[in-house]
Amino acid sequence: MALDIPDGTPDRGPGLVVLCVVLMIFVTIATIGRIASKVVMKQYWWWDDFFALLSYPIQIALLALIIAWRNIGLGLHADVVVEQNPLYLIHGAKLLYIAIFFFDSSISLPKVSAIFFYARVFRTNNRRFIINLWITGALVTGWVVSALISTIFECTPIEKAWNPALDGTCINTFAWYLTTASISVVVDFYILLLPVPEIWALKVSVRRRIYLLGAFFLAYSVIVISIGRLASTVQLIPTLSEDLNWNFPLYLHWACLEGAISLISISVPNLIGLFKAIKGSRRSGTSSKGSGSNKHSSFVRANASPGIQGGLARESDRDGFERLVGCEDSFSYETYGKPPSDFVNGSREGIPLDKIHVQTQISVSSGKLPFK
């Protein structure tokens, strides 16, 4: 650390640094896992992936800024920092001013990614659901734009944001933090509840629907951290002006977790898909050694009609969540007694491969042909 701190000095910084390092590791693993799932499962890239990947360097930058602030006194009482170098207080406040920009983006981009994820997974023509997606996207965009603008012009002159000794005025910090945190929680709830009507309308068992709801809630578990940050805002923000370096680490724990958990949670479907793909490849590799069923399956794939081959290609583009949501389209003759209309019309969407059976019977007769 840049400061020479006597032993036994109260310090809230070390725990925050450990948290930042751990979060850096986990968001990196989640991002690599997302990329690997796309490559291994040969899925197409879409906007939800773009915004998820864009949020990664922003999250890393936020955590790096907090560690840099730690090196000049974050977590120590102001009088301890002043004894070392009074300018460290100003430099720390400037780092906070910059970090807020990255924080606002770090929790907004995963929200946008989640919205595009819903649009990709459900692929619905439900007008109400589509309108809700647009409304949610507008709320997220409006929130981040207003937050960034208010951050830039929170003080007049702008330099007063990190140098309180200058003459000028600033906005009510507590009201600003409380308002932005409250709106963020509302938007998170909105995003969390968006897929509920679509999932509950699926023509599957209640148990299956509950499982899907749990899976989607897990994929957007950041709501818990968002509520925690709101609670910490109410408790801690009014005390910041008394001793910023000492009091702010308690709030930063929630702020760092919110951005990182947002990024990790939106990558959960990809990580699940990657795990299943690796597990499935191992099983198929083992079973191919002892049976000819995989050879038969390969023969079917190789000799299937163009329509079936197209269906197989489309199925390989779908991740685990898409297949779960699309499970109502699958059928078997034992269940329905007749093929569905979409199969009659030549479409192969939703037909599980284990319902396709090819039987071949060849007979050879020796002797003279009747026309010779």
User: What span, in angstroms and rounded, lies between the C-alpha atoms of 269 and 274?
Assistant: 9
Which residues are within 8 A (CB) of 12 and not within 5 positions of it... i.e. 6 or more apart? 75, 76, 246, 249, 250
Query: From CA 264, how far away is CA 220, in angstroms rounded?
Result: 9
Whether 23 contacts 63, CB under 8 Å: yes
pLDDT band at 346 (very low <50, low <70, confident <90, very high): very low
Residue 364 has pLDDT above 60, yes or no: no
Residue 359 or 267, more confident: 267
Better-scored residue on pLDDT, 255 or 314: 255
Phi, psi of 154 (to 5 degrees): -70, -25
**What whole-number distance in Å separates Cα of residue 338 and Cα of residue 258?**
50
Question: 168 is written with which tokens?
Answer: 């000028």
Tokens of 30: 């989640």
CA atoms of 165 and 155, how far apart (whole Å): 12
pLDDT digits (tens, 9 = 90+) for 111-128: 999 899 888 887 777 788
| CB neighbour class for 243 (10 Å; exposed up to 12, middle 13-18, buried from 19) | middle
- Name the residue among 351, 298, 347, 295 with its Cα closest to residue 328: 351
Is the pTM higher than 0.85? no
Mean pLDDT of 64-86: 89
Domain extent listing, the chain: 13-272
SS3 204: coil
Is the predicted pLDDT of residue 101 greater than 50, yes or no?
yes
> Which pair of structure tokens corresponds to residue 122?
């459900």
Is pLDDT above 60 for 335?
Answer: no
**What pLDDT score does 350 carry?**
44
Taking Cα atoms as reference points, which of 191, 177, 183, 253 lies closest to residue 222? 191
What is the CB neighbour count within 10 angstroms for residue 359? 4
Question: CA-based Rg of the chain, rounded to a whole angstrom?
Answer: 28
**The amino acid at 227:** I
Instruction: For the chain, give the mean pLDDT.
Output: 77
Return d(Cα 253, Cα 232) in angstroms, integer: 10
Q: Across the chain, where does the E strand assignment appear? A: 155-156, 169-170
Tell me the mean pLDDT in the region 269-280: 79
Over residues 341-357, mean pLDDT: 45
Residue range 58-74: mean pLDDT, rounded: 93
Q: What is the CATH number of domain 13-272?
A: 1.20.1070
What pLDDT score does 177 carry? 84
Percent of the chain residues topping a pLDDT of 90:
23
> Which of 202-211, 242-251, 271-280 is predicted most confidently?
242-251
8 A C-beta contact, residue 79 and residue 141:
no
**What band does 2 get if pLDDT is binned at 50, 70 and 90?**
low
Q: What is the largest CA-CA distance in the chain?
A: 113
Query: How far is Cα of residue 23 from the mean position of the Cα atoms in its chain?
Result: 14
pLDDT tens by residue, 153-196: 989 999 998 888 888 898 888 888 888 889 988 998 888 888 88
| Nearest CA-CA partner of 109 in 53, 181, 25, 31 | 53
More confident position, 370 or 93: 93
Average pLDDT over residues 20-45: 90
